[in-house]
Structure 1
């Protein structure tokens, strides 16, 4: 079954959408997307790997086609998002698996790995950070919001949810923009325009500080368990600098580091290169 199928599953009363492809008997690869995207970002990667792996790509709660619970009933924190993915793994009966984590999927995925260290066979970080030196100056307005969570500082972030800013995330650092399909950023802008989506994202922007606090714990997990690790990053990423990719070797001396000549959404321009790197790495 190399074609992609689409599913929904109830996770403790919350609807979670996911894509999957590949035979369940093959090695599992869990794909976690980033902001402001969904599992749609893996649309090109999944067919390239489905003959070798069983790929499962959920939409994180509050993103894409997964349910977005009301903020009055659900606290949008990275701990809570990770707990839903942990339950997703248990409900689907995913045993041992490799983990692909991009952007905000990384701190969620690293929490999952710390929860299930015996299940994680390898980690692929695609522009997924775990070190302070990986954070660029673009984070400064969000850092101000962490240190002073006023309405004014929250409102100062509103431009990053607008269609032009979302498109910029896809196109920044890309040498040939004809390689970037408008489908990705247009769909993301549609999802972000839904009622309450902006407020959900501002809640998560505030809680991103919890990920930075956990960086030492992520690094301790790396040192203790030494998972097989591939960091494959677009080196023109305006958010997560190449220094963040290189830093993994501090705790994982055998980590493989590959830098691609592209931006944040590296799959938009380098899906074949990334698929080849994953296949070589995991096999």
Structure 2
């Protein structure tokens, strides 16, 4: 009694959210939403993911992960304090059009790491699928300066 279940409440009470998350269309949209070039994406990426998510036992696993995400968010202040204290060299490469992790989330690293290199690319959630060469170039230019 009085147990705090967080903002999402009982994970079993949100079956409609789980159903939507595990649907083929939602799986596909995680890959191509926010991109101006869906033709650059291999349909096997969401088809294979959907097949995996449809396997026996995955519904329960994914429901638990979705429910548990609230503990991730609750941990942000501790992670941000660690970043401020340790100031690791940081390269942030982010899909500016990502509907799941919005651009402001990428830019927020500057508050805790003023020297972070932030790159918001014209891409969605899976930026590597369409900006592979650009991201590789950013990494290759960043690494030699932070050995």
So what's the TM-score if we normalise by structure 1?
0.47
Q: Secondary structure at the match of 1:232?
A: strand
| Mapped pair 1:242 → 2:99 | no
2:61 pairs, out of 179, 193, 200, with: 200
Q: How well do the aligned residues superpose, as a CA RMSD in angstroms?
A: 1.6
Structure 2: give runs of 5+ residues left out of the alignment: 1-5
Kindly tell me: are residues 147 and 184 of structure 1, through their superposed partners in 2, closer, same or farther at Cα, counting changes over 3 Å?
Answer: closer
Q: Which 4+ stretches in 1 moved above 4 angstroms?
A: none
1:231 equivalenced with 2:92 (yes/no): yes
How far 1:152 moved relative to its partner? 3.2
Tell me which of 145, 163, 172 is aligned to 2:33.
172
Is the 8 Å Cα contact of residues 89 and 116 (structure 2) preserved in structure 1? yes
- Paired with 1:189 and 1:147, the residues of 2 have a C-alpha distance of 24
Count of residue pairs brought into register by the alignment? 140
Q: Does 1:264 align with 2:125?
A: yes
Residues 50-81 of structure 1, C-alpha deviations (whole Å, 9 max, x = no match): xxxxxxxxxxxxxxxxxxxxxxxxxxxxxxxx
Tell me which of 123, 141, 147 is aligned to 1:280. 141
Verify the 8 A CA contact 1:146 1:206 in the aligned structure 2: no
8 Å CA contact retained: 1:175, 1:262: yes
**3-state secondary structure, aligned to 2:119:** strand
Q: Within 2, Cα distance between the matches of 1:183 and 1:151?
A: 31
Give the match's secondary structure for 2:75. Answer: helix
| 1:210 counterpart residue number | 71
Q: Deviations over 1:120-170 (max 9, x none)?
A: xxxxxxxxxxxxxxxxxxxxxxxxx84321533233331111121111111
Higher relative contact order (CA 8 A, sep 6+): 2
Task: Tell me the TM-score normalised to structure 2 length.
Answer: 0.89
Counterpart secondary structure, 1:148: coil
Check whether the contact 2:95–2:125 (CA below 8 A) recurs between aligned residues. Answer: yes
Q: 1:150 to 1:279 in 2, by over 3 A?
A: closer
**Pairwise mapping of residues 1-283 of structure 1 onto structure 2 (< 5 A)?**
146-149=7-10, 151-283=12-144
Higher helix share: 2
Deviation at 1:204, TM superposition (A): 0.8
Distance 2:8 2:29 in 1: 26
Structure 1 portions without partners, runs of 5+? 1-144
